[in-house]
Amino acid sequence: MRLASFIVSFALLGAACGSEPAVPEAWVWELPDTVPEPRVPEDNPMTLEKVELGRFLFYDKRLSGNQTQSCGSCHRQELAFTDGLAQAEGSTGQLHPRGSMSIANSGYAASLTWANNTLVRLERQALVPMFGEEPVELGMANRESELLQRLREDERYPEMFAAAFPDENDPISVDSITKALGAFQRRVTSFGSRVDRWQQGDRTALNASEQRGLALFFGGTNAAGVQDALECFHCHGGFLFSQSSDDAGQVFDQKFFMNNGLYNLDADGSYPPGNQGLYELTGDPTDKGKFKPPSLRNIAVTAPYMHDGSIATLEEVLDHYARGGRLIESGPFAGDGKDNPNKNSLLNGFAMTEQEKQDMLAFLQALTDEDLLNDPAISDPFAE
C-alpha cells in the first residue's frame, strides 16, 4: 500500500507540473564506421521533429528583418551550402569581410566561422547572423518579438515547435529557434564523396590520377623525391579534412588557426585592416593572419577560396602553396606573404610537376559529395 501511494504521489507530481508530453523520435546517425558521431550538446538532444523544424527555419526568409534572406540564401545546397561570393552580403546590402562557410559537417567544427575562438556551439553561433549589427546579416537585432510573432501566426510552426519542444509551455522562442537550427545543421553531414568510398574500402572509387593526388595529399613523396612535400594533411587531414575537428569522443580542445601567407603588409605580418583573423579577437600580434583551415570536402563547388575569396580557382590555390606564400606586387596590400613572420612553419613551398598538379586537382574534385548537393531531406521546403 505504501508503494501504491508513492506511485500516486508521483502521478500527482506529473499532473501538477503539466500534462504528459508526446515523445519526440530520437535521431539516428547514419555515418560510416570510420567516422565518429558529432558532439551533441546535452541541452539540445537530436530528434526528427527538431531537425525538420530546423530545416524549415534554415530556409525561412521570415528570419530576416526585411524578409528577403534566410540562412539558406548564403548557404545554398547546390554550392555545398556556400554562395559563390568572395564576401557574403547581408539582407540590407552590407558586405561581410569574409565569405560564407559551408555548414556541411559544421557539427564537427572545433570552432565556428573563419577566425573566432569563442564560437564553439552551433546554437550560440546562430545568434551572430540573426542579431549581429556589424555587419547586419539577417538583421533581427531588437526585433525578436516581431520574429516570434511571425512564426506564431504561421499555419505550421505552432505545431512543429510543440512537437520539437514538448516540454516547453511556450515553445516558440529565440532559444528553440537556435536549438532547431543547431540540430538541423548538425545533421548535415557529408561523407559520401568518392574519396570517402575509397577510404571505406572501395578500390574502384578513385582513378589512378586521383589516387596519386590522394597520396601526395597525405604525405607522399613527390616526383622531386621530397617526402611529405605538399604537407596538406597537417592542416587539412583527419576524417574532417580539417585539423579544427571536434566530436563526441574528444576530450581535448582542438581549436586550430593558422597563417598561410596570403598577405604581409608590414614588419608585423599584418593582413588587410578589418580582416586580420584571430588577432582581432585576441589582440596578440602573432595571431595576425591566423584563420581556421576549413574542411576541404566539396571544395570544388565552394569557390572562391580563402577567408576573403581572394583566390579564385583551385589551380591558383595549389600555386599559392607551391610558392609558399602569395606575392602582391603593388597596391594597398602589396607584400610577399611568403615572408610573413606568422606564417605556419610547414608552408615552405614545394616543387610540383604539371602531372602532379593535375593529380591534386583530380583528388580535390573527388571530394565532392553529390548526395549532399542533391539530398531532398536537407533541401529548401519553400522552393517551388
Partner 1 sequence: MSRVQIVLATLAMATAGCGSSSEGAGGQAVTIQFAAKVGAADFVCGSTYENLGADDSTLTLSDFRFYVSDLELKDSNGDYVAVALDTDANAWQTANVALLDFETGCTDFGNPETHEVVTGTVPEGTYDGLRFKMGVPFDLNHQNPPTAEPPLNLSSMEWDWQGGYKFLRIDSGDFSMTDWRMHLGSTGCDGDPVAGGTTACTAPNRVDVELASFDPAGDTVVADFAALVAGVALDVDHDAPVGCMAGPTDSDCAPLFENLGLPFDGSSPGTQAFFSVE
Residues near partner 1 (CB under 8 A) are 1-2, 5-6, 8-10, 12-13, 16-17, 39, 41, 94, 110-111, 116-121, 123-125, 127-128, 130-135, 140-144, 173-175, 177-178, 246, 250-255, 273-274, 276, 279-283
Q: Helix 157-164 crosses helix 48-58 at what angle (to 10 degrees)?
A: 140
Shortest spacing between CB 10 and partner 1, in angstroms? 7
Which grid cell sits at 288? 595576425
Instruction: Look at residue 42 and give its three-state secondary structure.
Output: coil
Nearest Cα to Cα of residue 263 among 320, 302, 219, 209: 320
Shortest spacing between CB 272 and partner 1, in angstroms? 10
Nearest CB to partner 1, comparing residues 130 and 214 = 130
Nearest Cα to Cα of residue 218 among 108, 109, 360, 36: 360
Q: How far is CA 166 from CA 71, 100, 145, 170, in A?
A: 25, 33, 21, 9
Residue showing cell 567544427: 109
Shortest spacing between CB 128 and partner 1, in angstroms? 5
Residue showing cell 539582407: 91
Nearest CB to partner 1, comparing residues 37 and 316 = 37
Nearest CB to partner 1, comparing residues 142 and 348 = 142
Nearest CB to partner 1, comparing residues 173 and 199 = 173
Sign (positive/negative) of CA torsion 339, 344, 350, 356?
negative
Q: How far apart are CA 81 and CA 101, in angstroms?
A: 7
CB 99 within 8 A of CB 82: yes
φ, ψ for residue 272, nearest 5 deg: -55, 145
Nearest CB to partner 1, comparing residues 144 and 316 = 144
Shortest spacing between CB 285 and partner 1, in angstroms? 9
Beta-carbon contacts of 203 under 8 Å, excluding residues fewer than 6 positions away, are none
Residue showing cell 599559392: 320
Nearest CB to partner 1, comparing residues 69 and 125 = 125
Nearest CB to partner 1, comparing residues 9 and 374 = 9
Shortest spacing between CB 5 and partner 1, in angstroms? 5
Nearest Cα to Cα of residue 243 among 296, 305, 322: 296
Nearest CB to partner 1, comparing residues 127 and 322 = 127
φ, ψ for residue 323, nearest 5 deg: -75, -30
Q: How far apart are CA 240 and CA 221, in angstroms?
A: 23
Shortest spacing between CB 22 and partner 1, in angstroms? 20
Shortest spacing between CB 257 and partner 1, in angstroms? 12
Shortest spacing between CB 160 and partner 1, in angstroms? 18
Nearest CB to partner 1, comparing residues 241 and 321 = 241
Instruction: Look at residue 201 and give its three-state secondary structure.
Output: coil
Shortest spacing between CB 328 and partner 1, in angstroms? 20
